[in-house]
Chains A and B, each alone.
Chain A
């Protein structure tokens, strides 16, 4: 199903012509922003140099540090009275990153979400329970507006209080949820403990998960536990929040809305482009925003372009699920490890639960804390010791380090209301 078939299936030449036009308009708009004007002058960039969308490479990068340094409104590209909304990105340290929306930006962000929901078959007959945090985080409100645009009945549940979530799902026959993958895993456990079979007693059909990098194994785990289709999505506050890229029904990569964003994959060390299919850092230029467009924003998310057309006929290219953030990479005993590698191993083992914590302390001592699942216990201490060794051995095969594995009782690891904190690095660097 298409929300706006013409935009979604625009032939590549027309799409690239639209990108060029919008890129030029954006650059023109940004010449009024002192930060960008200075950057253009420093690098000798002239707007006339943009002759095709590929010329985006001539533009300077924008980084998270630039956003923090220009906090609160140094990158605002419209008069303050044209701003309709403010969102911020959770800064774990120091100042947050602020993003402004004009009226058109709010509407356009909802439009992109509507495309995404529609492409997996969501209609106005659906009941959409939004289990993401409302407030400054874009995952709540931006998605909310998109689901309303489709015409769903939207339940602004927010995250947490699983008892209440379940009650809403039962009483209002929720068919679609938007949820953090870590919370979806927790919620599946919660239902299991309550003895609620989602297939029988709930009307759930689909879940949209995002805002946290996660693995294919996690998707399958949620799908199996709840008996639903789970679609991956990608977004970031700096680019509107959710809705930058979504999966179609094929679940084979996320279509990135190229009429709104110019997409580049670069080698993070050199800044040079990498070829299609190769993993690199995703760099995005928002070409359809008014209040605060950003040029070549370094997302620090690692992904690759999936070459070739998609069966769904959308012409917007697909990116692979995020394999990690360059920030998330851990270096333990000289080995590079992404938390997703550990997750992939854990999610494939039914004897252990869906929550986990990776802890590093002292001199690079890696401990992986896992919970015993309800099916993983037969009363034998010996079997538990074997299971512990098995987890450690499978992890060693994946990350080349044998971590210490702590087997904990179900429910003993902390459950986050927002994004899960999976890595605790206690090393003093």
Chain B
């Protein structure tokens, strides 16, 4: 199953933390395609889709950040009303819970990035229903 690697980084919930993370990635010549921030009280987790996840993760660790790589699935959808619904509906029909989800649209293509407990299973289900699951390379070249 095609999965995509996201870089997850732990950061304190205070001004300047996102700037530190993005500064480190900029110096390491990493391009960010998509970012989400989930915060909970005094801390938060930033998740980034980047062109070189391993290098990004190492650059952050070297600067003392807690960072890790996570496997997620990236589904390509049509950029039109009802497209997201069809993906959600398909997963719901198979009792698959969506954890963290984000998406982006570029060059008239829409990509949904979803975290599920079992990426392989969710990927198979979506594939059976005719959805295209992007490889890391494809997700980055959208």
Chain A positions within 8 Å of B, measured between CB atoms, are 193, 372-374, 376-381, 384-385, 388, 406-412
Q: Is the CB of A376 within 8 A of B66?
A: yes
Given contacts A378-B8, A381-B39, A410-B66, 10 further A-B contacts (CB under 8 A): A193-B62, A193-B64, A373-B66, A374-B61, A374-B66, A377-B67, A379-B68, A384-B43, A409-B12, A410-B64
Count, A-B residue pairs, CB within 8 A: 55
Q: Is the CB of B43 within 8 A of A407?
A: yes
When distances are taken between beta carbons in the complex, the residues of chain B under 8 Å from A412 are 12
A48 and B47 CA atoms in complex are apart in Å by 79
Q: Is the CB of B38 within 8 A of A381?
A: yes
Closest CB in chain B relative to A289 CB, distance in Å: 46
Chain A: CB-nearest residue to B6: A379
When distances are taken between beta carbons in the complex, the residues of chain A under 8 Å from B68 are 377-379
User: Would you list the 10 A-B pairs with minimal beta carbon distance, nearest first?
Assistant: A379-B8, A411-B64, A377-B66, A379-B70, A381-B38, A381-B45, A372-B66, A381-B40, A379-B68, A377-B10
Among candidates B39, B41, B47, B65, residue contacting A409 with C-beta atoms closer than 8 Å:
B65
A366 and B67 CA atoms in complex are apart in Å by 29
Closest CB in chain B relative to A410 CB, distance in Å: 6
A123 and B6 CA atoms in complex are apart in Å by 52
Q: Is the CB of B64 within 8 A of A408?
A: no
Q: What are 25 A-B pairs with beta-carbon distances under 8 A? A: A193-B64, A372-B10, A376-B66, A377-B8, A377-B67, A378-B8, A378-B70, A379-B45, A379-B68, A379-B70, A380-B45, A381-B45, A384-B45, A385-B40, A385-B41, A408-B12, A408-B42, A408-B43, A409-B11, A409-B12, A409-B64, A409-B65, A409-B66, A410-B64, A410-B65
Closest CB in chain B relative to A96 CB, distance in Å: 35
Q: Contact mask B53-90 → A, CB, 8 Å, 1/0?
A: 00000000110111110100000000000000000000
Chain B binding surface, main DSSP class: strand
- Any chain A CB within 8 A of the CB of B44? yes
When distances are taken between beta carbons in the complex, the residues of chain B under 8 Å from A378 are 8, 68, 70
Known A377-B10, A409-B10, A409-B12; contact A384-B40, beta-carbon cutoff 8 A = yes
A374 and B41 CA atoms in complex are apart in Å by 20
Chain B: CB-nearest residue to A406: B42
Closest CB in chain B relative to A118 CB, distance in Å: 40
Chain A: CB-nearest residue to B7: A379
Closest CB in chain B relative to A377 CB, distance in Å: 4
Chain B positions within 8 Å of A, measured between CB atoms, are 6, 8, 10-12, 17, 38-45, 47, 61-62, 64-68, 70
Closest CB in chain A relative to B127 CB, distance in Å: 25
Q: Is the CB of A379 within 8 A of B43?
A: no
When distances are taken between beta carbons in the complex, the residues of chain A under 8 Å from B40 are 381, 384-385
Closest CB in chain B relative to A266 CB, distance in Å: 44
A377 and B11 CA atoms in complex are apart in Å by 11
A384 and B41 CA atoms in complex are apart in Å by 11
Chain B: CB-nearest residue to A405: B42
A373 and B68 CA atoms in complex are apart in Å by 12
A406 and B43 CA atoms in complex are apart in Å by 8
When distances are taken between beta carbons in the complex, the residues of chain A under 8 Å from B17 are 409
A374 and B60 CA atoms in complex are apart in Å by 12
Chain A: CB-nearest residue to B17: A409
Interface centre among A372, A379, A411 (most CB of B within 10 A): A379
A377 and B8 CA atoms in complex are apart in Å by 9
When distances are taken between beta carbons in the complex, the residues of chain A under 8 Å from B62 are 193
A413 and B11 CA atoms in complex are apart in Å by 14
A236 and B40 CA atoms in complex are apart in Å by 45
When distances are taken between beta carbons in the complex, the residues of chain A under 8 Å from B44 are 381
When distances are taken between beta carbons in the complex, the residues of chain B under 8 Å from A407 are 42-43
Q: Is the CB of B61 within 8 A of A193?
A: yes
When distances are taken between beta carbons in the complex, the residues of chain A under 8 Å from B12 are 408-409, 412
A388 and B43 CA atoms in complex are apart in Å by 11
Interface centre among B6, B11, B39, B41 (most CB of A within 10 A): B41
Closest CB in chain A relative to B34 CB, distance in Å: 15
A373 and B65 CA atoms in complex are apart in Å by 10
When distances are taken between beta carbons in the complex, the residues of chain A under 8 Å from B47 are 379
A379 and B70 CA atoms in complex are apart in Å by 7
Interface centre among A384, A388, A406 (most CB of B within 10 A): A384
When distances are taken between beta carbons in the complex, the residues of chain B under 8 Å from A388 are 41
Closest CB in chain B relative to A353 CB, distance in Å: 9
A374 and B10 CA atoms in complex are apart in Å by 10
Chain A: CB-nearest residue to B69: A379
Chain B: CB-nearest residue to A388: B41
Closest CB in chain B relative to A297 CB, distance in Å: 43
A381 and B61 CA atoms in complex are apart in Å by 18
Chain A: CB-nearest residue to B39: A381
A372 and B40 CA atoms in complex are apart in Å by 15
A193 and B61 CA atoms in complex are apart in Å by 8
When distances are taken between beta carbons in the complex, the residues of chain A under 8 Å from B65 are 409-410
Closest CB in chain A relative to B22 CB, distance in Å: 15
Closest CB in chain B relative to A403 CB, distance in Å: 14
Closest CB in chain A relative to B15 CB, distance in Å: 14
Closest CB in chain B relative to A390 CB, distance in Å: 15
When distances are taken between beta carbons in the complex, the residues of chain A under 8 Å from B61 are 193, 374
Chain A: CB-nearest residue to B65: A409
A33 and B107 CA atoms in complex are apart in Å by 90
